[in-house]
Structure 1
Amino acid sequence: MSDYNKSKQLKAVALSYESSKNAAPKVVATGKGEVAASIIEKAKEHDVPIQEDPSLVELLSQLEMNEVIPEQLYNAVAEVLAFVYRADHEHFTLKGNRG
């Protein structure tokens, strides 16, 4: 595989945040290629919102599994969590209006 193709390979990182257990979100899954596709597919199956941010994925993919994100990434990850919160709110609002 050429360097160009390697750099264009699909990458994914999944985060988990439980404020009662952790001071910051942690990495719970990371992968590239088919593993990344599987992470994304699982997220879709469970209605987990997906946000694309290649730069942030590049940084987060360097962390170890279950590693809490470093303080330098708090602002970037806070934006992702805000996106997830809004997406969840919209999803449940729409779902509630159907019934």
Structure 2
Amino acid sequence: MTQSHNDPQNKPDEAIAVALSYDETPASLAKVTASGKGEVAEQILQLAFSRGVKVRTDSDLAQILSEIEVDCPIPLEAFAAVSEILSYLYRCQEK
């Protein structure tokens, strides 16, 4: 997830990037595996692009997920949006 807009908590136009991982076991929840703002966000994005990882821009979701500690599951408020993203990624992998 990425964000790039004016936000009172961030510098103007400061990027936010959040990486998620998902274990396909039935009881598993998606969790935050990396998160950063500014230069760290840019590094996360560069790593994703260089490895062919799909990136989605969603400023609201990026803001929510950036508050979650790394290695923690996503909050209930983000389930619907993250489920939609995972569904999109699975469809991309099938092609």
| Among 73, 81, 84, the residue aligned to 2:86 | 81
Distance in 1, Cα, partners of 2:77 & 2:10: 29
Runs of 4+ deviating beyond 4 Å: none
Which residue is equivalent to 2:32? 27
> Shift in Å at residue 69 of structure 1?
0.6
Distance in 2, Cα, partners of 1:73 & 1:42: 24
Which residue is equivalent to 1:41? 46
Specify every segment of 5 or more residues in structure 2 that has no aligned partner in the other structure, as ranges. Answer: 1-7
Q: Secondary structure at the match of 1:6?
A: coil
Specify every segment of 5 or more residues in structure 1 that has no aligned partner in the other structure, as ranges. Answer: 91-99
What is the root-mean-square deviation of aligned Cα atoms in Å?
A: 2.0
TM-score (norm 2): 0.82
TM-score (norm 1): 0.79
Identity, in percent, stands at: 38
Higher helix share: 1
- Corresponding pairs, count: 88
Q: Which has the higher Rg, Structure 1 or Structure 2?
A: 1
> Shift in Å at residue 7 of structure 1?
4.1
